[in-house]
Amino acid sequence: MAFLELKGLQKDFGPLRVVKDFNLDIEQGEFVSFLGPSGCGKTTVLRMVAGFEEPSAGSISVGGKEVTRLKTSQRDMGMVFQAYALFPNMTVAQNIGFGLKVRGASSSEISARVTEMLKLIQLDQLADRYPYQMSGGQQQRVALARALAPQPKVLLLDEPLSALDAKVRVSLRDEIRAIQKRLGITTIFVTHDQEEALSISDRVIVMYQGKAEQVGTPFEIYNRPATKFVANFVGTLNTLEGTVTDPSAGTVRVGTGEVVLKGKLNGSKAGDPVSLALRPEAISLGRQPGRDAMLGGEIAEVSFLGSVIRVRVGLGQESVSLDTFNSPASPPPAVGDKAEISFSPEDVLVLH
């Protein structure tokens, strides 16, 4: 039995169903991320878990106990919001200890726990400051400590980094993951940022139109997308439109060339259109060992990005982008040059 079980969750707002038959088992101590575009239902699922929204159907269980109809205060969960939601008239220490005070903990218990949390978030020296005296990253650390202070069974994070600048986001997301691992607390993290989800999660749930499109490890989500939406939403993707020429041999015509995709065209007929996808890192400029599929084209665009040079190669009506490392000894190709690209057939995704 999983520690946190979501079974058949649905949520209707009037005639609109925003979450549709959502099922998920989360193990104790696992860090999972809900990833998807705005309006896909990820925050609604989180709010149902927290108790802020009541499911129209389905159930939520924690540690074998159903909590579907319990109040938020009875669920033993900690919540961190996008807006820091700190009490402006309270110091850092008072904010962190607030939940413990509400639960009736003694002054000594609160003081000891607040000291522990301040050390955990590395803000020992700021205990007496007020929120307005702190940076956004520091305020979000305090919000995290406040959620963790009562020792909840589950930690819920609703896009907690979206209001921060890029450099602080990277630093704080790594801190959140390190703290989560240290405490071993079961965590759900909601984000629309692919890099965040892929970099810190044990598993990622990609959501679209109220449903879980795919559940898997970051490696599986990126390298083995189950649907066309997941393939296009997660990471950068080159999509090529082709035509099946010989399904038994696995041959597809792309532009003026052909590639062989053995075992990937089951059920196709000659003349059928097919969408092929390749990650930029799966494509090389020129012939490379182990990359036996070749297509010829012309350099359409070259962008210098410092350590990386991004090259777009036109293949007739189609084009692909690939990245090569910048080398002072090897100048980049010029727009208009003839070019060949190579890739392994195993790296091609056939999108349905």
Q: What is the pLDDT of residues 112-164, one digit of tens each?
A: 999 999 999 999 899 999 999 999 999 999 999 999 999 999 999 999 988 78
Give the tokens for residue 280: 């930029």
pLDDT digits (tens, 9 = 90+) for 269-327: 888 998 888 999 899 998 888 898 888 999 999 998 888 889 999 988 889 999 888 88
Instruction: Count other Cβ atoms within 10 Å, centred on residue 330.
Output: 10
**Helix, strand or coil, per DSSP, at residue 314:** strand
CA atoms of 284 and 293, how far apart (whole Å): 10
Q: Are 207 and 46 in contact (CB under 8 A)?
A: no
CA atoms of 86 and 88, how far apart (whole Å): 6
Instruction: Count other Cβ atoms within 10 Å, centred on residue 306.
Output: 6
- Rounded to an integer, the average pLDDT of 93-97 is 95
- Rounded to an integer, the average pLDDT of 323-352 is 88
Q: Are 200 and 176 in contact (CB under 8 A)?
A: yes
- Domain 238-351 -> CATH class: mainly beta
Least confident of 42-51, 64-73, 109-118, 261-270: 261-270
Instruction: Report the run of H or E that residue 218 belongs to, with start and end.
Output: helix 218-223
Residue 95 has pLDDT above 90, yes or no: yes
Domain layout of the chain by residue ranges: 4-233, 238-351
Is the model more confident about 167 or about 24?
Answer: 24
Mean pLDDT over the full length of the chain? 92
Give the tokens for residue 169: 């986001």
Q: How far is CA 318 from the centre of its chain?
A: 29
Residue 228 has pLDDT above 90, yes or no: no
* Among candidate residues 142, 48, 52, the one with its CA nearest the CA of residue 93: 142
pLDDT tier at 201, thresholds 50, 70, 90 = very high
Which pLDDT belongs to residue 352?
Answer: 63
CA atoms of 80 and 291, how far apart (whole Å): 46
Which pLDDT belongs to residue 198?
Answer: 96
Which pLDDT belongs to residue 326?
Answer: 87
What percent helix, strand, coil does the chain show, rounded to 5?
30, 35, 35
Q: Which amino acid is at 82?
A: Q
Q: Are 19 and 9 in contact (CB under 8 A)?
A: yes
Q: Yes or no: is domain 4-233 CATH 3.40.50.300?
A: yes
What does DSSP assign to residue 154? E
